[in-house]
């Protein structure tokens, strides 16, 4: 995720880090060459004039804008839902920690063990969604025997939630009103499980592939034919206008592709590492345990 202070209007024109311009620059250079060729050849392709004017592009541009807006809305909806799910994980982790510390007898649950399991759950979910190696986080948070058990599991976040539920049930069943207390704690564990299922649903259900193919082909066909329709209308300004229109369409498509995969590692994907660190810091602080440093953006204004 790109995190940088809001710049003034002039600096925003020159922003490189955080924009999708590096990703679409090759296409824009190709577009410039096509525009120059259309201008040089007077709108001809291999000696044949295409006889294009601006009217078809106006009609096609309206339908393309509507479809592109649909694709971007669908992508942003996935991004927003993913962020809400991780926000719910933060809320439930804080609530569960506060309830365990307030409603269970002091010393009945070892704070280091409980916090380690809960924080490990968060990091395990992040690694599962990104397909990364969870071993370094597991080794610093959990005992070796539990690390070995988790290494053999396919759905590690759910497995560690099971261990948390068993631990808390073993404590609450000895309390006078243990059933009510466990019901309250179990509600937070269920919220965490629901968040895992929601994240898995987003990760395993991409936007239907034909939508992307259709949009991609239509954008490229529109942009590469546009100079031949503008050449007789605006003359020498054809390359400038064609590249400007192409930049808008190519950039919107690139943004939609990035945010449609919110759990990835692209510059505009969710900063799952920073979110996980925030949850870890919050849980450890509630347990009066040492708190790690806050996640910071790198030199390119990226939070990972």
pLDDT digit string, tens, across residues 150-160:
988 899 999 99
Interatomic CA distance for residues 263 and 255, integer angstroms: 14
Interatomic CA distance for residues 179 and 167, integer angstroms: 14
Structural domain contains residue 166: yes
Q: Based on the structure, what is the number of domains in the chain? A: 1
42: burial class by Cβ within 10 Å (0-12, 13-18, 19+)?
exposed
Give the alpha-carbon dihedral of 154, 199, 291, 113, to 10 degrees: -40
pLDDT tens digits, 259-302? 999 999 888 899 999 999 999 999 999 999 999 988 887 766 77
Q: Is the pLDDT of residue 228 over 80?
A: yes
Q: What DSSP state is assigned to residue 48?
A: E
In our burial notation (b when 16+ CB lie closer than 10 A, e otherwise), range 281-290 reads bbbbebbeee
As a whole number, mean pLDDT of residues 96-124 equals 91
pLDDT tens digits, 34-86? 999 888 877 667 666 666 777 778 888 888 888 888 899 999 999 999 999 99
Partners of 19 in beta bridges: 17
Question: Which pLDDT belongs to residue 302?
Answer: 74
Structural domain contains residue 82: no
Question: Which pLDDT belongs to residue 13?
Answer: 76
Decide if 303 contacts 4 (C-beta within 8 A). no
Largest Cα–Cα distance in the chain?
92
Question: Which pLDDT belongs to residue 299?
Answer: 65
Which among 53, 54, 50 has a CA at the least distance from the CA of 62? 54
Q: What angle, rounded to 10 degrees, do the helices at 178-204 and 156-172 form?
A: 170
Decide if 221 contacts 136 (C-beta within 8 A). no
Structural domain contains residue 2: no
Question: Which pLDDT belongs to residue 46?
Answer: 61
Would you tell me how many other CB atoms lie within 10 Å of the CB of residue 188? Answer: 21
Question: Which pLDDT belongs to residue 50?
Answer: 64
More confident: 8 or 32:
32
Q: What DSSP state is assigned to residue 45?
A: E
Which SS3 state, helix, strand or coil, does residue 18 take? coil
Question: Which pLDDT belongs to residue 72?
Answer: 92
Question: Which pLDDT belongs to residue 271?
Answer: 93
Q: Is the pLDDT of residue 304 over 80?
A: no
Interatomic CA distance for residues 223 and 117, integer angstroms: 53
Q: Which domain holds residue 116?
A: 89-206+270-289
Would you tell me how many other CB atoms lie within 10 Å of the CB of residue 174? Answer: 9
Question: Which pLDDT belongs to residue 252?
Answer: 92
Structural domain contains residue 140: yes
**Which tokens is 262 given?**
């919110």
Question: Which pLDDT belongs to residue 43?
Answer: 65
CA dihedral sign of residues 292, 295, 298, 303: positive
User: For the whole model, what pTM was predicted?
Assistant: 0.90
Mean per-residue pLDDT over the chain, rounded: 89
pLDDT tens digits, 14-35? 787 778 888 899 999 999 999 9
Decide if 269 contacts 259 (C-beta within 8 A). yes
Decide if 283 contacts 141 (C-beta within 8 A). no
Question: Which pLDDT belongs to residue 49?
Answer: 67
């Amino acid at each position: 995720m790109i995190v940088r202070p809001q710049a003034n209007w002039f600096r925003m024109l020159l922003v490189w880090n955080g924009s999708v311009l590096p990703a679409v620059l090759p296409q824009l250079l190709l577009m410039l060459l096509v525009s120059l060729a259309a201008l040089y050849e007077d709108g001809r392709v291999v000696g044949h004039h295409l006889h294009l004017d601006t009217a078809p592009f106006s009609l096609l541009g309206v339908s393309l804008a509507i479809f592109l807006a649909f694709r971007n809305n669908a992508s942003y909806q996935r991004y927003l839902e993913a962020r809400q799910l991780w926000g719910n994980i933060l809320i439930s982790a804080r609530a569960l920690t506060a309830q365990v510390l307030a409603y269970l007898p002091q010393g009945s649950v070892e704070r280091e063990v409980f916090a380690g399991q809960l924080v490990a759950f968060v990091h395990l979910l992040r690694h599962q969604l990104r397909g990364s190696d969870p071993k370094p986080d597991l080794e610093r948070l959990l005992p070796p025997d539990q690390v070995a058990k988790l290494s053999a599991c396919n759905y590690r976040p759910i497995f560690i939630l099971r261990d948390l539920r068993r631990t808390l049930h073993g404590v609450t069943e000895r309390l006078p009103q243990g059933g009510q207390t466990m019901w309250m704690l179990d509600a937070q564990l269920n919220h965490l499980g629901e968040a895992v299922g929601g994240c898995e649903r987003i990760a395993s259900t991409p936007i239907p592939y034909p939508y992307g193919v259709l949009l991609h082909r239509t954008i490229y066909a529109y942009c590469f034919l546009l100079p031949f329709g503008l050449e007789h209308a605006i003359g020498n300004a054809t390359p400038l206008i064609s590249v400007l229109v192409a930049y808008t369409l190519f950039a919107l498509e690139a943004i939609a592709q990035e945010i449609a995969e919110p759990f990835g590692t692209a510059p505009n994907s969710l900063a799952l590492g920073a979110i996980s660190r925030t949850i870890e810091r919050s849980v450890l602080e509630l347990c009066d345990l040492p708190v790690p440093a806050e996640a910071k953006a790198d030199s390119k204004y990226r939070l990972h």
